[in-house]
A and B are shown apart, each in its own frame.
Chain A
Amino acid sequence: MKQTTFKPTTLLERIDWLMVFLFIILSVIGVLSIYAVEHRETDLSFIILSKSYSKQLIFLGISLIVGFIILMTDSKLFTSIPFLGYIIGIVLLLLALTPLGKGVKGSHSWLNLGFFTFQPGELMKLFTALSIAKFLSLQEVNFSTLKHRLMCAGFALVPSLIIIMQNETGLALVYFSFFLAMYREGLPNIVLVIGFSIIALTLATLLIPKNILFILLTIIALGILYTQRKQLKRSKDLLIVVAAIWLVGVLFSQVLVPFAFKNVLKGYQVQRIYTMIGQDVPDEYTRDGVDNKKQNASEYNVSQSKIAIASGGFLGKGFLNGSQTKYNWVPEQRTDFIFCSIGEQFGFWGSTLLILLYVTFLLRIVHIAERQRSQFSRVYAYGVAGILFFHLVINIGMTIGVAPVIGIPLPLISYGGTSLLTFAVLIFILIRLDADRQMVLR
């Protein structure tokens, strides 16, 4: 432990300006990217209120004002509101499912407040992050107990389930990113091992024919038994464990996954998963309800996106010269596929630079997290990092065809007021908490 001497410092000195700088530069890149997509040679002026980039600029202004207000707020406020906010958030989420909600493209995740429509699911990220931080920092909570672990997971999974009901799978998956914070706080490795095993087994089930997979699993099980035969002589427990795992694996791949694909997941979700692994949906999983249009649309988006990014080459076509992104070749290019605009205009070096900025951002947050005295701030910081990371990887991954198209925005860059404002609030609260890192907040 370093010996810290108390020095009266001003708030301005305690603020992490690198974070503020990264926030502003990424947001400005966002506005310019949307501008590049929408700009036409015939435009008379830069600010045209009907265009998205102007709106985004206004939202950036609002975000900065909100950020300023947050910085001016006493950080104790943030430790006092989480559970109340969480409950309000859940109510709003449920309200969106009622007729009060507004349906957009088949999802029911929007609330219309008359002057403003927003997604409670976005706002809920903030309350969930604060609540998990609050929960874990409660003195009576011991994270090494199963009960508290399950409760903590519940904080993330409850909104996720409601959002799945709202038909916003992408947003729901974001809530799984809170496991990152939980991992940091001591979630056992075995949970992750099992999690990864399930993912690996699912992929294998999708990619490898059933019978061959069965044989493979059996060979692996027998292989383990053979290599461990000496230990096996000593105790029969290993045999039981291996046999149990083998049985679970076989049941999972032969029964559970096919059942889930046939009856639980929606047709388009099955489609997206197969698109991600570059396979056609097998006949056994196709539904009557899912027409080929949807299937083609999803594939079309990804292939157009790849075309746009690839056409940028190493150096890119130059600012405002993106022929693919400018002329609407890529669907949803202002929002989910905004990365295409950067990939096309600034090429490989520009894309890499952007990813580098994000990585700097992420590592800075981890750095900030680790220097907190209060567990609350640390857990919260990891929550923010997890959300950012998940968004970054899935969004860029889907534009270059390595992740399923689940429709989540690129943080700070994609067009969308709610998204920008949510990230701004998440980040500025972190900056505010970090400014009080010497205090122990509960």
Chain B
Amino acid sequence: MADFTQDRSNYIRILFTIIPVILVLRLLFLQVFDIGGYKQAALGQAVYIKKIYPPRGTIYDRKNVVMMNNSIVYDFVVEPKKIKEDFDTTFLCKLLNINNEDFRLQFKKMINKYGWGIKNIAMYRNLSPSAVARLQENIYEFQGCELVEHSERNFTYECGGSFIGYINEISAKQLEKEKYRDYEKGDYLGITGLENHYEEVLRGRPGVQYLLRDVKQRIQGPYKNGTLDSNAIPGKPLQLYIDAKLQKLTESMLANKLGSAVAIDPETGGILAFASGPTFDPTLLTGADKGRNLGKLLTDATKPLFNRAIQANYPPGSTFKPITALVALDEGVINPSYGYPCGGGYYACGRRIGCTHTGGGHARNLAFAIANSCNSYFCHIFRLSIDAPKYKNVHVGLQRWNQYMTDFGLGHPTGVDIPSESGGNIPDSNYFNRIYNNNWNSCNMSIIGMGQGEVLLTPLQLANAMCIIANKGYYYVPHFVKSIDRDSNHTLLAPYLKKHQVAQIADSAYNYVSVGMMEVVNQGTGKIAQIPGIEVCGKTGTAQNERMINGKRVKLQNHSLFVAFAPRINPKIAVAVCIENSGYGATWAGPIASLMIEQYLKDTISAKRMPLVKKMQNAKIIPNYTYIIDSIEKQQAIERDRLKRLPKDSLALINFKKDSIRHIDDSIKAAYYYKRYFGLKSKSIN
């Protein structure tokens, strides 16, 4: 009996030992080897990683006037799952000052889009200060709702929307890109303008705070005493070359006009003013209604968001003539006293090319030819340049000319520090080979000499070309930013510190052209641009332009252009202005350019010229056919879209074709009407 009891007590001892050992083994797997990955789950649950957004960099003008800073705004954020049944929608809507139905609709939309599981989705962004004040006191009553603060951009000087640009929440597509690996959903980034180009310095570095939270998601304190936290580093400030006062004046003068104006400091390549018309209130690009405003601006017939100063390609017209002259002088095909007997037209190539002046001797030398903008003279010297005997072949001559243009920064994007720049167009021999089937000569392109034909430039390129003339042969790539965080040698600015030497044209050639341009203002076509006490060198341009509408090339009202730099000795500012479809260069572009120069050099506009400022500001020069063209384009876009989505069903195809024919008929009728009512000439191609 003793043995039996002894055995059993030992068995019990073994049981009391073995089973706890099994528990310990299980703990070993759970805690030490982390089988099942529970440790990671703990981190994800109790540790809340809060991102701290730094303020974006402030943007200053050249005189340290704040153009762009940040203001704190609040978003109304909800977590649908946490919303209880007793949610007082009516009270909330009253606080938010919105319609009850709107709220329900918005909520429904949100749920349809993201589902019930979504966490912290911003339902209303950038609440008004009064709504925030009302909500802050009562937000605790609404479970699942939160007010989240973040900083919003703020145009303090209410100008510069065209180059500063705007920021927006990063899109799902962008998030997938390697470039944006540092970004997370809900982060903002620059979409256009400087905001985009200088994103990496403006953004700063978001900080991270590790916080502990309880099961009800309430924050309880720092995790590991904040040792893992990192501080947010604020975005670096940018200083621009922009003169805020000049910028504001320029924008006001481009109001209700299609066009653009660019002013550059020739010594540095810094952009002093930059506007694209029609100008718009930049505050539309920030705030609660940003999305809606952007939509409106995008669909507007006048395309305010189309940055004409860098994206629009214009035939430069007569403003191109100084460049033609420089090439001819450098090639040695003319000298400054070279004259051309123009009697009101150029007939050397058969078809007449008209000249506005008929008076004898208006092109008796280079200076006179520039001052009077003689078409014949420049067509002729252009032909002389590319037909220069030393090249023996017009193909070689044209390529040489093309090289000159490239040196002048034309035909390719200049590399300005905002995105989406267009390069304009400078034709080369390949182009003419294609068009004329390898059978062409200088006559086929003589009008290039007067800035018509295949030459297309952006206003920025034109202004830059003026800088080259002002500097007598060099330029810096036009740019906005003077310094980043007060450091003017920042690596991002390196491309803009490099001096670009243009073809070795003699200083004397520049001097002759400058004198000619001075004469333009003193006694030629650009007298309107005179400023007492300042030697302004300018050149008017009246560019003919055509547009393809419904397969027909339609000639539209001339563009008014003006380029200038001043003062002639030691120039401080170079300007290019283009006002679309407004007539002569001296009528609109000239005064605007002149007023910009006066504002910049004298920091004020003389009282005598104030009426001129008023006239420029108040004029509305948007031809009615702008709206018609826009409507036709939209129609065509819709048709293209429909064609893409067309079902393969043949009946639908037939119906669509019928429909389509009717649309085209209507478009032709529309074209006929505006031809008739707006007096436009229409000529078909060949």
Contacts and interface: CB of A to CB of B under 8 A. Distances in A.
21 contacts: A40-B220, A180-B12, A184-B8, A184-B9, A309-B38, A310-B36, A310-B38, A311-B39, A314-B31, A323-B47, A323-B223, A324-B46, A327-B213, A327-B214, A329-B45, A329-B214, A343-B27, A348-B28, A355-B23, A393-B19, A402-B23
A258 B557 CA distance: 92
A309 B215 contact: no
Interface in A298-347: 303, 306-314, 323-324, 326-329, 343, 347
B31 A347 contact: yes
A327 B23 contact: no
Interface stretch (A80-88, A92-100, A356-364, A431-439): A356-364
Chain B, interface size category, equals: 35 or more
A201 interface: no
Contacts of B16: 359, 362-363, 366, 385, 389
A327 B27 contact: no
A312 B13 contact: no
A184 B7 CA distance: 9
B34 interface: yes
Given A328-B215, A370-B9, A312 B31 contact: yes
Interface string B277-307: 0000000000000000000000000000000
Contacts of B654: none
B221 interface: yes
Contacts of A396: 23
Contacts of B213: 327
B229 to A, nearest CB: 15
A149 to B, nearest CB: 15
B644 to A, nearest CB: 47
A348 B20 contact: no
Nearest to B225: A321
Interface of A: 40-41, 180, 183-184, 186, 303, 306-314, 323-324, 326-329, 343, 347-348, 351-352, 355-356, 358-359, 362-363, 366, 369-370, 382, 385, 389, 392-393, 396-397, 400, 402
A392 B31 CA distance: 19
Nearest to A358: B20
Contact of B215 (A314, A327, A369): A327
B227 interface: no
Interface string B218-242: 0011010000000000000000000
B609 interface: no
Contacts of A313: 31-32, 34, 39
Which 8 residue pairs across A and B have the least CB separation, nearest first?
A: A327-B214, A310-B38, A311-B42, A323-B46, A328-B215, A348-B31, A362-B16, A307-B38
Contacts of B47: 323
B9 A369 contact: yes
A362 B23 CA distance: 15
B491 interface: no
Q: Interface of chain B, helix or strand or loop or mixed? A: helix
Interface in B208-267: 212-216, 220-221, 223
Interface string B1-43: 0001100110011011101101110111011101010110111
Contact of A306 (B24, B38, B212, B220): B38
Contact of A311 (B38, B212, B220): B38
Given A313-B31, A314-B31, A366-B9, A392 B36 contact: no
A303 to B, nearest CB: 8
A186 B36 contact: no
B38 A348 contact: no
With most chain B CB atoms within 10 A of its CB, the pick from A180, A323, A348, A382 is A323
A359 B221 CA distance: 38
Contacts of B32: 313-314, 348
A221 B222 CA distance: 64
B27 A307 contact: no
Contact of B5 (A184, A308, A327, A343): A184
Nearest to B42: A311
Contact of B31 (A180, A328, A351): A351
A368 to B, nearest CB: 11
Contacts of A352: 24, 27
> Which of A180, A310, A366, A392 is the most central at the interface, judged by chain B CB atoms within 10 Å of its CB?
A310
Interface in B36-61: 36, 38-39, 41-43, 45-47
Contacts of B27: 309, 343, 348, 351-352, 400
Contact of B34 (A184, A310, A366): A310
Given A309-B30, A311-B43, A370-B9, 15 more contacts: A186-B8, A306-B36, A307-B41, A310-B39, A324-B45, A326-B212, A327-B214, A328-B216, A329-B214, A348-B31, A363-B16, A366-B16, A389-B19, A397-B23, A400-B30
B4 A186 contact: yes
Given A328-B215, A351-B31, A393-B23, A323 B42 contact: yes
B148 to A, nearest CB: 22
Contacts of A366: 9, 12-13, 16
B128 to A, nearest CB: 36
A377 B9 CA distance: 15
